[in-house]
Amino acid sequence: MMIMPTGASPLDAVRALFGEQLEDLAGGVVSGEIPLTVTVVNRLIARKLATSPSSPVISAELESHETETFVVRLRVRGPLPPLRIDLRIDREPQLPSDPTLSMHWKLSGLGPFAILAAPIASYFRVLPRGVRLESNRLLLDVHELLRAQGYGEVIPLLTGLRVVTREGRFVIQFELRR
């Protein structure tokens, strides 16, 4: 995640070339992939947690695998043991109408403590804007997450998004249209 100076827009450089409303880009399509290693993703998570002292999460470390699956090893405040959460991406955003990335989650390795799954999920009532839990689903609203990071101007241009996992990395595939 690139941290931008206050007041800067991710489109400022493009506007300098093509005009304030990007009118000279009409009909243009930009697509690409952004590979993110788990090292980079884990560093970003650690940085965010360090600036969120009231978060119930002490640490979170991701481990990605093939076929849109990954593991989150989570440590939370309180008497709970470290948690292993297995996630599988089961629905990609259907842009522009539905910006939701859906993942199925399950707690693993808890043995008899598995009966705590529902109370553990309720422990995370306060989630970042654009993130919500519904039963055994983790839902990410891509539009809300972009706005929260200062990239709201990209939303009208974003026509395709897919998250692919590989061993040791996440690949963000995107398409922008003007």
How do residues 29-82 score in pLDDT, each as one tens digit?
888 999 999 999 999 999 988 998 888 889 999 999 999 999 999 998 877 788
CA–CA separation, 149 and 139 (whole Å): 17
Whether 18 is in a domain gets the answer: no
Q: Which of the two residues, 114 and 91, has the higher pLDDT score?
A: 91
**Domain extent at residue 107:** 29-177
pLDDT higher than threshold 70 for residue 118: no
Length of the chain, in residues: 178
Percent of the chain with pLDDT over 90: 51
Q: Is residue 20 included in any domain, yes or no?
A: no
In a domain, 23, yes or no: no
Report pLDDT for 153: 85
Under the banding of pLDDT at 50, 70 and 90, the label for residue 114 is low
pLDDT band at 2 (very low <50, low <70, confident <90, very high): very low
Percent of the chain with pLDDT over 70: 80
pTM: 0.80
Give 5's pLDDT tier (boundaries 50, 70, 90).
very low
Identify whether 24 is part of a domain: no
Q: Answer yes or no: is 83 within a domain.
A: yes
- What is the structure's pLDDT at 122? 57
Inside any domain, residue 58: yes
Instruction: Tell me, yes or no, whether 6 lies in a domain.
Output: no
Peptide bond into 10 cis (omega under 30): no
pLDDT at res. 145: 94
Q: Is residue 153 part of a domain?
A: yes
Split into its structural domains, the chain has a count of 1
First CA to last CA distance, the chain = 23
